[in-house]
């Protein structure tokens, strides 16, 4: 046996002290993680916001020459089933004439379908041209009545104060007649 009782206590208490330190630290870290989880989870988008992230559209009822408007992320999206004449006129444009040069092929996945966000790039107005009787401007696309911006059948700015083409949202054809926007 040892003559000094404090040495014996140090030898016995060392592993016990280590165990208590590790246990307390582990429980403390777990407690902080559990307490922080609601705060971290509150940063995630709400379910109604996630529902607006993509929109599915059935194009089977849209006739050639007809246009429809759907909502995506709170913005109107213009979908036009273009005629052969509209496709040809959109493809036959001198890029030097355009303020925001983009070929028609860069703006569409299938030539017969144009899909663009229907918000004028000048001040955010909604251009007319979706309905048959609407004013469409000199290029047969869309016309913004607020300040006179005119877009062609590919949604490219041709006249007026708008600085950019109508934006093309991310979209994909799931089959021949259905698309997912977003």
Find the farthest-apart pair of alpha carbons in the chain and give their distance in angstroms, rounded: 108
Q: Which of 40-54, 75-89, 114-128 has the lowest mean pLDDT?
A: 40-54
pLDDT tens track for 68-83: 999 988 889 999 999 9
* Same-domain pairing of 37 and 74: no
Mean pLDDT of 115-140: 79
Which residue from 82, 167, 158, 153 is spatially nearest to 119, judged by alpha carbons? 167
* Same-domain pairing of 18 and 95: no
The question of whether 147 is a catalytic residue gets the answer yes
Give this prediction's pTM. Answer: 0.68
Q: Which of 41, 81, 122, 147 is catalytic?
A: 147
Hey, how many other C-beta atoms are within 10 angstroms of the C-beta on 5?
A: 9
Residue 115: pLDDT band (50, 70, 90) is: very high
* Same-domain pairing of 72 and 132: yes
* Same-domain pairing of 144 and 55: yes
**Kind and range of the H or E element at 173?**
strand 171-175
Q: Does 7 or 80 have the greater pLDDT score? A: 80
- What is the spatial distance between Cα 3 and Cα 6, in angstroms, rounded to a whole number? 9
* Same-domain pairing of 68 and 91: yes
Residue 3 confidence (pLDDT): 61
* Same-domain pairing of 95 and 110: yes
Say if residues 111 and 121 touch (Cβ distance below 8 Å): no
Task: Find the radius of gyration of the CA atoms of the chain.
Answer: 31
Q: Which two tokens stand for residue 105?
A: 């092929």
On the question of pLDDT at 139 being above 90, the answer is: no
Residue 2 confidence (pLDDT): 52
Residues counted in the chain: 182
State which residues form the domain around 24: 1-44
Mean pLDDT of 47-72: 83
When the pLDDT of each residue in the chain is averaged and rounded to a whole number, the result is 84
């Amino acid at each position: 046996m040892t003559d000094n009782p404090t040495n014996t206590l140090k030898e016995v208490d060392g592993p016990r002290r280590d165990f208590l330190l590790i246990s307390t630290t582990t429980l403390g870290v777990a407690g902080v993680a559990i307490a922080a989880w609601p705060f971290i989870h509150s940063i995630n988008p709400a379910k109604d916001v996630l529902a607006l992230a993509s929109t599915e559209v059935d194009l089977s009822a849209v006739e050639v020459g007809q246009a429809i408007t759907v909502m995506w992320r709170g913005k109107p999206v213009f979908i036009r089933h273009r005629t052969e004449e509209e496709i040809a006129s959109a493809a036959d444009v001198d890029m030097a004439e355009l303020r925001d040069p983009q070929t028609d092929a860069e703006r569409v996945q299938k030539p017969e379908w144009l899909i663009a966000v229907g918000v004028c790039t000048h001040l955010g107005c909604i251009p007319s041209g979706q309905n048959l009787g609407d004013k469409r401007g000199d290029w047969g696309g869309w016309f913004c009545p607020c300040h006179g911006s005119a877009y062609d059948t590919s949604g490219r700015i041709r006249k007026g104060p708008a600085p950019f083409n109508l934006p093309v949202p991310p979209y994909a054809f799931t089959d021949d007649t259905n698309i997912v926007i977003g």
